[in-house]
Amino acid sequence: MVPYKNTFGAIKKDTKNKQVLDKLQVEQERGITVKAQTASIVYNYHGQKYLLNLVDTPGHVDFTYEVSRSLAACQGAILLVDANEGVQAQTVANFYLAFVNEIVIIPVLNKIDLKNANPAGVKEQLKNLFDFSPDEVLSVSAKLGIGVTEVIEAIIRLVPSPEKKCNKDSPVRLLLFDSWFDRYKGAVCLILVVDGTLKKGDHITSSHSGKSYEVRDLGILTPLETSVPQLYTGQVGYFTANIRAAKEAQVGDTFHLKSAKCEPLQGFKPAKPMVFGGVYPIDQKEHPALKAAIEHLCLNDASVSVSIESSASLGQGWRLGFLGLLHMDVFTQRLEQEHGAQVIITTPTVPYKVKLRGGRVIREFGREEVIITNPSLWPEKNNISETNEPFVMGTIITPDTYLGAIIGLCHSRRGVQYSMRNLDNTRLIIQYKLPLNEIVVDFYDALKSLSSGYATFDYEDLGFEPSDIVKLNILLNGQVVPELSTLAHITQARTLGKNICEKLKETLPKQLFQIAIQAAVGGDILARTNIKPVRKDVLAKCYGGDISRKMKLLKRQAEGKKRMKMYGNIEVPRETFINILKR
Amino acid sequence: MFDYLSVRSTFSLMKVLHSIWKWHPIKVGSISITHVHTLSNEDLKKAEQRLSHATLPKSYINNGSVYVHWPYCRQRCSYCNFVKFIPHPNSYWTVQDNTLEHFMVKELEHSLQHSYITNVKSVYFGGGTPSLARPQMIEKVLETIQAVCSLEGNAEITLEVNPTSFETNKLKDFKSVGVNRVSIGVQALDETSLRLLNRDHSVPEALHCINIAKQLFPGRVSVDLIFGRPNQTTGSLVKELETILSFCDNHISLYQLTLERGTKLFNQHLSGEVKVPSADQMADLYEVAVSLLGDSGFKRYEVSNFAHGCSAESVHNKSYWRGLQYIGIGPGAHSRVVPKNTIEKNNVVYNVYSSKCSEQDKMWSGSRIYEENSFNPTIQLSKNFFSCTIREARVNAADPANWLREVQIKGSGVRKVTAQTVLDIVSEYMASGLRTSEGITAEKWSMFLPQISLFDIFHERTLWLQESKLLCVSKQGLKATSIGLNVLDSILPYLLNILEEKFI
């Protein structure tokens, strides 16, 4: 939400300024906010000037991390609901996030200018779900400037000044709640001045690392960076201090005056990656460039976990952990758009928790309970005493006509219904407990397509619960292809195995002998198919000129074979792996 | 440059010589001045010391065959991507018969003189459509061979014949000038196919041609057929083969229709206008044909060639598959020759492009494009030996006008020369030799590479191919089984890699 009022004119009202805060290409294309942005404005209310700091946060649950970081620096939140679409699944999640942070929530309906806007209906939803009285709910059209003043004034009236939590007379203490990297200035740190006043030239120390820096520049975001000489208690702004490593600007860190003793502020919970995907360069030569691109993106997104992974078939790459699916999509899209990196993304997987059995194996893993994200590290069956998989509570809001189809979908994904109630006359809010691995691949797409795009979905983490997880192996003529092994729930292994076998049959080139493709869990063969041997492959004519041409081709093929991954005598081209492993 | 040479003493001679023979790009067809750096005597001595013994027996370097490419056709067959031109009175590529014949003879003389070949075992007139040429052309070529070296008494002289009545009528004349074998391009025995392939003859004409040819060249007539044509079924192929068997002599070449980029048929296939049999159907057709021909006494002695009795097998084509020397004459022709501008000493042939070459020779090699061979072998035993050039693969200018100009200027129409090392030679021998029922023999192998036996290289590394009944490996040699022959191109890359490893 961007205020429009001649009073501040922070942003001009013209068509060029459509998405001022959503700067990233991916944000503008998808119409979403990925990266929290801030803007500071001054408002004159009843003869008094108020400085308001606005943080625009992502709405999607994947970015809960961003949201919670921002909430920690805020005293109030505007719960913005589209007057056409009504309450979305993510509205529910974000409401509770603000609610548990005990900050003031101001419900606002946006886009009331649109033809299909139904403010009364949406207000009813807000009443049913969150117990907001319809009188509390404000209505705005940001596009036309309707109701903006009321929102600003409601903020001034309802949201308390940060002074209660702050002490302007104490030595300066700063909460770092976001940072990004500027190649010239180093890390740009977005901070809340909790105590004291920050001035240019101040020497400040990180509680986390103990390193000290001299503040080079500081300012507020209007939303462009605007230098100011000092930042006062309770103000949100940025500073740069020639911080050259992004790791030194950790979100949640407390900075304080170099000499002063300081009690660090409560940091944020570290982000917990829930969805993992392999990222490989399409061409191994691009590995260094991709590495640089990933590092660069991670500077601004500390929630991505990075570990090096090498696959015999795909080469050197990384296993990246993301907060959720959208997060993964957005990250990879940014890799491609902002860095021009051509990448292969493997099918997303989730972490599993395994309780081990047997002294030797426990010693080997170093502990009794291990988190496994890579099938190749899955312990032997007889070393496992219990397997666990992550579950989520999924919230679906849908017009009631799609109820049957949605129940069908959730059940096929091992979902267990938790609750269902009416949101209004035509809409339902349904909650399902679902295994995370059932939703990471295509659940959202399936939901969207069976509800013609009307159903919305969001989920929250429920943690690990016992579940029968097995390792599904793919065999070519009896030999396991480790790159194709996957972890799956026992009831899904057969279907998954069949799919992989069929895909292999389509993409693995015929060879000189028959190939048996099998999917197996332990010694049990769950699916099987065959590829017949090639029957004719020989040049028709081979005389004078043909020989040169043929030799050229043969040399190329021979070169190709050298690079080909062999399983027994079976050659598996990289394209086949890509086809099976990619998302 | 020579400092470099002394620093890197293992640097292969060929590379050194390549760098010596650096020249600036040359305009095609104009007399060019090449910037040739010459070696001092001392440098040359150094270079020679680096050469080891690349030997080829006299029986190899003194024997060869000749291929003559007649570049013209009456019309364009829809599947053909060979070098051919349709003559038009005013087109630049149309050269008078007399002129073309004259320069073919010039090129032949030059090429033979610059080779070690003293004995020509076979001559093949292909094209294009060589049966459109005048019988004089053949006469002149054969006379030239006899004048420069010797044409073996019973040499096989083959002419490709397009079976129109016009050309059938010329067969007698061709015989009188020395042709003793004909290969008739029948291609198909149904009119629809002949139209689709854009052939300029009818089925009765083709059958008539076979009959006449059999009278003139009894036991020396081959017919060409194309299978895998649009809409062909195993049933229709069997019928066609049965008909051809009742007409033909004792040799059949059966080629699978291949869609070559740039041909009309290829485009028709792309646009969906015609549909050729699927890979599985092709395999069915081929298997049916091989078995039917076999039952009729026609042995598959090469992937696409079937002969009734060993004596009917084509001597000329077998020499290609055996890796022997051949000289190609005419536009677009290919050659494989041990070049004569080499130093010969104690039966050892070195290929050295040195300052010892005459000025004329420099000019001769100077305007070609030299290609470094891509295998770039280095050897455990003696790196130099295996990286030295012992044979050349040459390609003539394709366009008759350009070719003619090249011959005028340099005596030869060669446009591109690729130096061949022992590895290149044995690789080619393997790729073409394994197409035959004879396979590659230990005896012929040892002619090229006596240092390592065929059996030792391949036996153990190909056990899985042997167990799959695709390849036979014995002390006598290597050959594809009858199933292996069908899928040879899938086998060859493995064999090439095994071979190449020996050279690293």
- Confirm or deny that A59 is annotated as ligand binding: yes
Instruction: Give the pLDDT score at B41.
Output: 54
Cβ B303–A548 below 8 Å, yes or no? no
Mean pLDDT of all residues in A407-436: 94
DSSP B85: B
Last residue of a domain, one of B262, B289, B321: B321
User: Which band of pLDDT confidence, cut at 50, 70 and 90, is reported for residue A285?
Assistant: confident
Q: Does A563 touch chain B (CB under 8 A)?
A: no
Instruction: Give the pLDDT score at A327.
Output: 83
User: Which band of pLDDT confidence, cut at 50, 70 and 90, is reported for residue A339?
Assistant: confident
Measured CA distances, B250 to A90, B169, B175, B189, B278 (Å)? 82, 22, 19, 18, 30
**HSE on the CB side for A226, CA within 13 Å?**
11
Cβ-based contacts of B331 with chain A (< 8 Å): none
Instruction: Give the pLDDT score at A423.
Output: 85
- Strand-strand pairing, B63-70 and B119-127: parallel
pLDDT tens readout for residues B338-352:
998 644 433 333 343
- Report how far residue A551's alpha carbon sits from residue A561's, in angstroms, rounded to the nearest whole number: 15
Q: Are B395 and A548 in contact (CB under 8 A)?
A: yes
User: Which band of pLDDT confidence, cut at 50, 70 and 90, is reported for residue A272?
Assistant: confident
pLDDT at B354 exceeding the cut of 80? no
Q: Is residue B235 part of a domain?
A: yes
Say if pTM beats, i.e. exceeds, 0.80.
no
Q: Are B427 and B496 in contact (CB under 8 A)?
A: yes
In this structure, the answer to whether residues B134 and B265 fall within a common structural domain is yes
CATH of the domain at B281: 3.20.20.70
Q: Is residue B24 part of a domain?
A: no
- Percent of chain B clearing pLDDT 90 (strictly above): 74
Q: Is residue B174 part of a domain?
A: yes
- Percent of chain B clearing pLDDT 70 (strictly above): 80
**Crossing angle of helices A89-100 and A119-130, rounded to 10°:** 50
For an interface test with B, give the residue of A508, A510, A512 to mutate (most B CBs within 10 A).
A512
Cβ A538–B485 below 8 Å, yes or no? yes
Instruction: Give the pLDDT score at B49.
Output: 40
Q: Are A533 and B465 in contact (CB under 8 A)?
A: no
Mean pLDDT, chain A, integer: 86
Question: Which residue in chain A has the smallest CA separation from B398?
Answer: A545
Cβ-based contacts of A512 with chain B (< 8 Å): 465, 468, 470, 487, 490-491
pLDDT tens readout for residues B129-179:
999 999 999 999 999 999 999 999 999 999 999 999 999 999 999 999 999
Closest CA to B414 of B371, B373, B372, B367: B367
In this structure, the answer to whether residues B446 and B315 fall within a common structural domain is no
Q: Is residue B275 part of a domain?
A: yes
Last residue of a domain, one of B279, B304, B321: B321
User: Which band of pLDDT confidence, cut at 50, 70 and 90, is reported for residue A162?
Assistant: confident
Which of A541, A545, A562 minimises the CB distance to B497? A562
Instruction: Give the pLDDT score at A134.
Output: 92
User: Which band of pLDDT confidence, cut at 50, 70 and 90, is reported for residue A73?
Assistant: confident
In this structure, the answer to whether residues B312 and B448 fall within a common structural domain is no
Tokens of B473: 């490996």
Instruction: Give the pLDDT score at B126.
Output: 96
Instruction: Give the pLDDT score at A104.
Output: 93
Q: B129 vs chain A: nearest CA distance in angstroms?
A: 16
Split into its structural domains, chain B has a count of 2
| Range with lowest mean pLDDT among A27-31, A46-50, A222-226, B373-377 | B373-377
Instruction: Give the pLDDT score at B35.
Output: 35
Q: Which residues contact A124 (CB under 8 A, 6 or more apart)?
A: A134, A424
DSSP B9: T
Per-residue H/E/C for A228-285: CCEECCCCEEEEECCCCCHHHCCCCCEEEECCCCCCCCCCCCCCCCCEEEEEEECCHH
Closest CA to A321 of A390, A273, A374, A373: A273
Mean pLDDT of all residues in B419-425: 93
- Report how far residue B436's alpha carbon sits from residue B452's, in angstroms, rounded to the nearest whole number: 22
User: By three-state DSSP, how is residue A90 classified?
Assistant: helix
Q: Is residue B428 part of a domain?
A: no
Q: Is residue B239 part of a domain?
A: yes
Closest CA to A475 of A533, A525, A512: A525
Cβ B486–A545 below 8 Å, yes or no? no
For an interface test with A, give the residue of B160, B225, B437, B496 to mutate (most A CBs within 10 A).
B496
- Confirm or deny that A60 is annotated as ligand binding: yes
Instruction: Give the pLDDT score at A168.
Output: 84
Mean pLDDT of all residues in B433-442: 97
Q: A477 vs chain B: nearest CA distance in angstroms?
A: 14
pLDDT at A571 exceeding the cut of 70? yes
pLDDT at A502 exceeding the cut of 90? yes
Closest CA to A346 of A580, A163, A133, A559: A580
Q: A540 vs chain B: nearest CA distance in angstroms?
A: 5
Q: B45 vs chain A: nearest CA distance in angstroms?
A: 34
User: Structural domain of residue B214, as residue ranges?
Assistant: 62-321
10 Å CB burial of residue B194 (0-12, 13-18, 19+) is buried
Mean pLDDT of all residues in A521-543: 94
User: Which band of pLDDT confidence, cut at 50, 70 and 90, is reported for residue B357?
Assistant: very low
- Write out the H or E segment, with its range, that includes residue B181: strand B181-187
pLDDT tens readout for residues A371-391:
998 888 899 999 999 999 999
Q: Is residue B248 part of a domain?
A: yes
User: Which band of pLDDT confidence, cut at 50, 70 and 90, is reported for residue A67?
Assistant: confident
- Report how far residue B87's alpha carbon sits from residue B93's, in angstroms, rounded to the nearest whole number: 7
In this structure, the answer to whether residues B309 and B443 fall within a common structural domain is no
Instruction: Give the pLDDT score at B24.
Output: 33
In this structure, the answer to whether residues B306 and B444 fall within a common structural domain is no
Q: Are B136 and B99 in contact (CB under 8 A)?
A: no
pLDDT at B185 exceeding the cut of 90? yes
Last residue of a domain, one of B283, B301, B321: B321
Cβ A512–B328 below 8 Å, yes or no? no
For an interface test with A, give the residue of B125, B261, B432, B502 to mutate (most A CBs within 10 A).
B432
| Range with lowest mean pLDDT among A28-32, A97-101, A441-445, A470-474 | A28-32
Instruction: Give the pLDDT score at A180.
Output: 80
In this structure, the answer to whether residues B316 and B445 fall within a common structural domain is no
Mean pLDDT of all residues in B322-345: 85
User: Which band of pLDDT confidence, cut at 50, 70 and 90, is reported for residue B366?
Assistant: very low
Domains and CATH numbers, chain A: 15-160 (3.40.50.300), 168-257 (2.40.30.10), 275-345 (3.30.70.870), 352-467 (3.30.70.240), 470-581 (3.30.70.2570)
State the residue for tokens 């059996």.
B455
Mean pLDDT, chain B, integer: 84
Q: According to DSSP H, which parts of A310-423 are helical?
A: 325-339, 359-365, 403-412
Q: Is residue B430 part of a domain?
A: no
Q: Are A165 and A195 in contact (CB under 8 A)?
A: no
Q: Residue A254 corresponds to which amino acid?
A: T
